A and B are shown apart, each in its own frame.
Chain A
Amino acid sequence: MKLLLTDDLRRSRGTVFFRAIFALPFLIWLAVWAVAAFFVAFVNWVATLFEGRSPTPLHDFLARFVRYATQVYAYLNLAAEPLPTFDGKPGYPVDVEIEPPVAQNRWTVAFRLVLALPALVLATVLVGSGNFVFDSVRSSGRLGFAVLGLAAMFGWFYAMFKARMDRGLRDLIAYALSYAAQTWGYLLLVTDIYPDSDPLTAIGPLPTRSDPVRMEVTDELRRSRLTVLFRLALAFPHLVWLTLWGVLALFAAVFNWVVVLVAGVSPQWLHRFLSRYVRYQLHVSAFLYLVGNPFPGFVGAPGTYPIELHVAGPERPNRWAVFFRLVLAVPALMLAGAFGSALLVVAVLGWFAALFTGQMPLGLRNLGAFALRYIAQAYAYTLLVTGAYPYSGPCLEQ
């Protein structure tokens, strides 16, 4: 299964404004289709268990259901502009390419629901219900929002102002939908390939960026089982030190804010101190969440860790953007919070995988690195280390 993305980012303000209402008939039709898909999936499960392969009519029906759901949620969450059709035909700007049925291992078919559970958990933090309005009512701020819901909400405001979708947000939504489609495809026996959470391969060609705060990953995926087993306890000293450093960084950031407002630029020493703090926070998080293997140092020194943060020197930012930095940072920090939830799931799933295999799965590692990069950029932006707004989509680093 592969997501095909041909959307051109252009949006009509009118359809964006009424997007949720326009999507309503499609959602109702999707619900009806889902009831049918539930029964078909059960029949398909029994048939595949007996025949070792999904019967073509059932496979096609379920494949079409997965494709239609992806199209509807892409439309609802602003990843695509045109109205989808009601029949899940291919050709939509955010579409799923699905292979014809192939022979499947009967054991994996028999235990498919259990095997799909980890992927379903990850899909839940990435996509939620797929409906931001529903998620906001359900969670009431208790559990926070899924990545997709927040990206759609911020995308809505962006599109209303600019009449086009932000590339990062669109790609993030497309990535989440791609993972959800793979998960449902796997669960419904449309494919026997386990969902791949790697954001670098999910949506086709990615932009190559050179942000002032960028991350470099040279991690080799090998994990020491002993340090994995005790990862949380081993991170305790770092977490205590990070908290103490964080208190100091908070005062430094306030001082930095005043200095930049007056002088127009951060002093080198202050910029260096805050950069180190952001880098150290990244190193510790990478270690704690199993995105990196080695035990990190305590000073956030550059060039010491396989998940590395490169920070450019101090810039001369727009004073208005500096004055309102805290307000401007709110969306980025909210999205960073949602990425944090995904990171937690990555850590839990990665912990089991690394403990058994001695390796971190590439997809999980890359998703973790993606989340960490966004969180680091959001902190750097908030602490005035950079004036560049965090880039929310998956990308290649120059």
Chain B
Amino acid sequence: MSERARSLARPATLALIVGAALWAWAAVALWQSTELPSLDLPHLDPHSFFSDSFLHRSATYERFLAILGVLGLVTVVAVLVVYARHGHRLVRESAAGRVGTGMLLAMLGFAVVWLAEVPFGLVALWWQRRYGVSHQGYLTHLLDSFLGLGSQFVFLCLGIGIAMGLAGVMRRWWWLAVVPAFVGLAALFSFVSPYLIPDTSAIDNPTLVAEARALERIEGAPHARLREQEVHRFTDAPNAEALGLGPTSTVVLWDTLLRDGFSREEIRLVLAHEVGHLAHHDPLKRLGWLALFLLPAWGLVALFTRRRGGFAQPESVPIAILVLVAFQLLATPLLNVTSRRQEASADWAALQATHEPATEKAVMRKLATKSLSDPDPPFWAYALYENHPTIMQRIEMADAWEAQRP
């Protein structure tokens, strides 16, 4: 190594070490911002809560989907490796200049991935229909998926446009500028996301609205919009989610939850869980985690695309997509850990607000039964796919809460 290279490498290494330290400090701070009491969860036997036949059925159902998912992931990576090697040839199909060509190559990369995923999606749908979890038709599934791809392309183009634009302007450290830009975009998306969910309407049940307001007061959450989403045409599985930022904070309850055998207390508990997310500012924290994971992801993109002239050149986009997808696959188990902590914290908040551990257990049993979730999945599936604690962990938390009640 020449003297000049050595003199350049030193500050870069130093910057990298300082950066890594700052990253670790931020990650720890973000992790600790989600409070969860240190509980010694009792180990409960699933057979005490679920029948043998259900446990067998749900395990079979989920195992198949999990294996299918892994096969799908392997296929996607294989397809992207091939695309990273040969995708740059598609530059000739563009008359859109440097950035526009990058957009085309990114879209084609995702289109190829979509194509590779189609058989897996159809098999998964067949499996869900066989077990009565989904009612969606195959053609509707394909059409929805294709239209979803079109909408995905719009955001993809925006992202690639920003990243390639910055890579063209800033030479070495462009990837550091990309992260705040992307987090800003994600924040914007998070802000407007409650308005982008289809088939929603305001919940007009005054009792439920009053309970939501009371829970907001108890848990210290901001005032949230309450919406009902119509999904019963596609699935029987019940669900709810908290999304939006600040004035757009919203709790969405699926109609399968509101109209399908859940008692008032059970719906209230689900509501308390979602309000807990808002009280803990979880949508904002998700943005924080996104920022932390984007930083190394784009750093790796900058590193791996150098041999094709850097990310400013459209020829490097197929490699960038492979790097980003591979990084996402590797980071997913870690992100799942952070998500599970937030969910557990929201569960705890719901128990604190309602004081109804028995209802929590009942809700979990119903959720498992209706969604055909394996209450105690194998560890590999848990690590790869579960962004919520398992049903048994949630039941155990209710038990632990009951045990430590004065």
Task: State the A residues within 8 Å of B (CB).
Answer: 224, 226-227, 229-230, 232-234, 236-237, 240, 293-298, 304-306
Taking a contact as CB atoms under 8 Å apart, the answer to whether B111 and A233 are in contact is: yes
Q: Are A294 and B153 in contact (CB under 8 A)?
A: no
By a CB distance below 8 angstroms, the chain A residues around B157 are 237
B105: min CB distance to chain A, Å? 9
Does B78 sit within 8 A of A, measured CB to CB? no
B353 on the A face (CB < 8 A): no
- Decide: A295 and B154 in contact? CB cutoff 8 A: no
Interface residues of B: mostly helix, strand, loop or mixed?
helix
Chain A residues with CB under 8 Å of B150's CB are 232-233, 236
Contact across chains for A298 and B96 when beta carbons are under 8 A apart: yes
* A233 with B153: CB separation less than 8 A: yes
Q: Which residues of B contact A295 (CB under 8 A)?
A: 93-96, 100-101, 103-104
> Taking the nearest CB of chain A, how far is it from the CB of B222, in angstroms?
32
Nearest-CB distance from A398 to chain B (Å)? 24
Question: Is B96 in contact with A226, judged by CB distance below 8 angstroms?
Answer: no
Q: Give the 3 A-B CB pairs with smallest separation, nearest first.
A: A294-B95, A236-B150, A237-B157
Residues of A within 8 A of B82 (CB): none
- Looking at the assembled complex, report how far the CB atom of A235 sits from the nearest CB atom of chain B, in whole angstroms: 8
Closest to A238 in B: B157
Contacts of B104 in A (CB 8 A): 227, 234, 295
Partner of B153, one of A236, A296, A306: A236
Answer yes or no: B358 CB below 8 A from chain A CBs.
no
CB distance from B101 to the nearest CB of A (A): 7
Our pick among A233, A237, A297, A304 for the contact of B146 (Cβ within 8 Å) is A233
Q: A233-B111, A234-B111 are in contact. Are A296 and B95 (CB under 8 A)?
A: yes
A237 pairs with B96, CB closer than 8 A: no
* Residues on B with beta carbons closer than 8 Å to the beta carbon of A236: 150-151, 153-154
Sort chain B's interface into a size bin. Answer: 20 to 34
Contact in complex: B153, A297 (CB < 8 Å)? no
User: Interface of B with A (CB < 8 Å)?
Assistant: 90, 92-97, 100-101, 103-104, 107-108, 111-112, 115, 146, 149-151, 153-154, 156-158
> Distance in Å from the Cβ of B64 to the closest Cβ of chain A?
30
Contacts of A296 in B (CB 8 A): 95-96, 100
B156: A residues at CB distance < 8 A? 237
- Measured between beta carbons, the chain B residues less than 8 angstroms from A229 are 111, 115
Q: A230-B111, A233-B150, A236-B154 are in contact. List 19 more A-B contacts (CB 8 A).
A: A224-B90, A226-B112, A227-B93, A230-B107, A230-B149, A234-B107, A234-B153, A236-B151, A237-B107, A237-B156, A293-B93, A294-B95, A295-B95, A295-B103, A297-B95, A297-B100, A298-B96, A304-B96, A306-B95
Residue of A nearest to B155 (CB): A237
A297 in contact with B97 (CB, 8 Å): yes
Residue of A nearest to B103 (CB): A237
In the assembled complex, which residues on chain A have CB atoms less than 8 Å from the CB atom of B112? 226
A241 CB → nearest B CB, Å: 9
Give Cα A337 to B103, complex, Å: 31
- A-B contacts, 19 listed (Cβ < 8 Å): A226-B90, A226-B112, A227-B93, A229-B111, A230-B149, A232-B150, A233-B111, A233-B146, A233-B149, A234-B107, A234-B108, A236-B151, A237-B156, A293-B93, A294-B93, A295-B101, A295-B104, A296-B100, A306-B95
